[in-house]
Structure 1
């Protein structure tokens, strides 16, 4: 107990010297604390400005909830109106599912080699790595709805434009996810291939690819589930699928048909989520 006490007494005796040698520690507000306070005030100011600029009002929000309850009442019970319309809805759902599947599969196939070029440990050189990253960033920076508008203008209305929109949008996302998975792969299999006399391509084929394929497949399954919802939205701009029919039902105030379509979309997404969850578990070795 004597040593800590003596150190404490020595520190108290030399307090002026310690303060002179470490002034930042003894300030009332250290620089790190000042930066934290400044960032908090800036965020609070930005939040307040956003609420004011967007005319946020609790009264409008409360009245909006009341209107939402009214619309939900109009949507019950779900009713397609006729068997012929129900068949058209099911056909639109099948088309939406096909758009999501083909777009996701095509994007994954194209993004696979791009992911290897964009990964630091498998790219040819720094220039290729940099350019690949920037191309993927540029593609990913444009939303699927914008790509749908572009492809509708290029190839016309219909599901083909929807497939191209999903495909183009997902190339950037898959490329980034694939490259990060490749960079995080264990280097020991690659070193083992090199020690056995294999070249760089052999190391990628037999060392990196088997390790990252389950991760990539999990990303593809998740994006397929997400694209099922996205392909519903892009259909509103004429890119095929159930979205256009849903938009028409809303414009004509046929709320029973709207709730019927929304209910079927939810069921489809839940079914895809259950199946993809099982497949992802199987890929990583869980039952």
Structure 2
């Protein structure tokens, strides 16, 4: 029996309680919202986020912005070449860290996928290892590696690589678990080994996803590489930190602008690669 909207409204007017959630459910909802709102307000108070402090901070921020304009324009090649070298170093750090992380993550992701490894103890142990690796922030890893290997790009590369091993392995294993078993059964029925099943049935399904993850994380690692440079892991971040420490705000803004341009170009190229390469995989299905 289909009821019209007018009939539903009439029934709602006659027995409004029948259209409401049960009382215990409503009490739990009100209690949850009260707790969340109270926690939010308490955090604002505890962190001294008062309107007066925010207003004063905005005033000081405006003065800093005024020092950034007009932006600095380098009038000699030697100074500008130093900035370009820093940008290239940051790009190289992000690229090498992403590639190294992916190289180690691919075999680990196979060990963490339940449709590849049937033994739950081994799989769960590997999965918990992913969680342990991802628990360390890239910046913390960079500080540790700086103490071990000294200043320069190497600590930044290792920090990104180690951090990405945990991230990539988790994402890759989840992509592998979401593949269809029908191609695997086809390769298996034709006499293919377990390795051939992975190579010819699983890999073609996950390759577009893996490529998309790699491209996105590479873009993210370019931004992370800038932050790592501030703590001494090389790249443009070190030059940016040096300009800020020297109160050369106009040069700092020019460097920030170049970083934005670099990230935009990388994003554009990544989108182009996705459309070209992943589009071919989609067309082959």
Matches of 1:53 and 1:126, distance apart in 2: 45
Matches of 1:140 and 1:216, distance apart in 2: 18
Cα RMSD of the aligned pairs, angstroms, is 2.0
TM normalised by structure 1 equals: 0.87
Within a 5 Å distance, the mapping from 1:145-160 to structure 2 comes to 145-160=139-154
Conserved 8 A contact 1:111-1:174: yes
* Residue aligning to 1:44: 37
Matches of 2:252 and 2:108, distance apart in 1: 41
Within a 5 Å distance, the mapping from 1:214-253 to structure 2 comes to 214-253=208-247
Q: CA deviation at 1:125?
A: 1.3
* Residue aligning to 1:171: 165
Q: Does 1:66 align with 2:59?
A: yes
Q: Does 1:255 align with 2:253?
A: no
Conserved 8 A contact 1:104-1:223: yes
Structure showing greater Rg: 1
What secondary structure is seen at the aligned counterpart in 1 of 2:81?
Answer: helix
Distance 1:31 1:197, change over 3 A: farther
TM normalised by structure 2 equals: 0.88
Distance 1:80 1:244, change over 3 A: farther
* Residue aligning to 2:179: 185
- For residues 157-198 of structure 1, what are the alpha-carbon distances to aligned partners after superposition, in whole Å with 9 as ceiling and x for unaligned? 110111101101111111111011111111111111122222
Matches of 1:82 and 1:247, distance apart in 2: 21
Q: CA deviation at 1:80?
A: 5.2
From 120, 126, 134, the equivalent of 1:132 is 126
Q: CA deviation at 1:62?
A: 2.0
What secondary structure is seen at the aligned counterpart in 2 of 1:131?
Answer: helix
Conserved 8 A contact 1:117-1:124: no
Unaligned runs of 5+ in 1: 2-24
* Residue aligning to 1:90: 84
Distance 1:193 1:29, change over 3 A: same
Matches of 1:214 and 1:234, distance apart in 2: 29
Q: Which 4+ stretches in 1 moved above 6 angstroms?
A: 25-28
Matches of 1:129 and 1:221, distance apart in 2: 27
